[in-house]
Amino acid sequence: MCRMDDKFVKDMEWPGMHHMGGFPLIGDELPRLEVKTTHGPMTIPDDFSGKWFVLFSHPADFTPVCTTEFVGFEKKRADFEKLNCRLIGLSIDQVFSHMKWTEWIGANLGVEIKFPIIADDQGKVAATLGMIHPGKGTNTVRAVFIVDPEGIVRLILFYPQEVGRNMDEILRAVKALQTADKNKVAMPANWPNNSLIGDNVIIPPPGDVKSAKERVSGGNVTCYDWWFCHRKL
């Protein structure tokens, strides 16, 4: 995998990309990507229009940690789909490698991988999304992008190659984002099992003194102070 030069970065730019480094950040549109996958050619995010999706990269096929992750994602796939959320993997291996690896997983571990995997054998998708971290080698790190139905990046996680991901946390994050969007609230740490407020949600801070006073005395709102109020959904 070659390091990126200035010309390559320039070629990979898309409208609206302006922050340092050129990689999409939270709140950016995911760049339009035409990719090869184990399910055939796809265009992202177009092919997921109207759906949430989790795009995640793994360092390499036929490696132990990645194998446990793919089994973990597949076992949670139905839970993601209940949230109108799809899964799509990626590494810089070729498509036939993905196919043989998932075939091995099915034959030896009894798990059929049903989500598509991007074969980014030229490394362009990984470079565009900032998945190559030189300090961790030439393979992709364990990146996670949660993207909403409008193609907006809502959450980004990066794990080093030696640490596998927690699929329950990624699923929780999708649920939390959807709940926050629907109810115009914020989610506390470890929601829905927060040590202070349980499964309650946090009300955004008031914009003026009058609203601050009213919310403290509101019937369906509990407050530690005017700036820290929560309620049941």
Check: CB of residue 229 under 8 Å from CB of residue 202: yes
Whose tokens are 């946390």? That residue is 169
Residue 77 is which amino acid?
R
Residue 222: DSSP 8-state: E
Q: Please state at what angle helix 167-183 crosses helix 64-82, rounded to 10 degrees.
A: 30
**Cα gap 170→203, rounded to integer Å:** 23
Check: CB of residue 117 under 8 Å from CB of residue 136: no
How does 163-195 read in b/e, with b if 16+ C-beta sit within 10 Å? ebbebeebbbbbbbbbbbeeeebebbeebbebe
Cβ neighbours for 150, distance < 8 A, ≥ 6 positions apart: none
Task: From the candidates 2, 66, 85, 229, give the one annotated as an active-site residue.
Answer: 66
> Element (H or E) spanning 178, and its range?
helix 167-183
Q: Catalytic: 66?
A: yes
Burial class (CB in 10 A: 0-12, 13-18, 19+), 27: exposed
Active-site positions read: 66
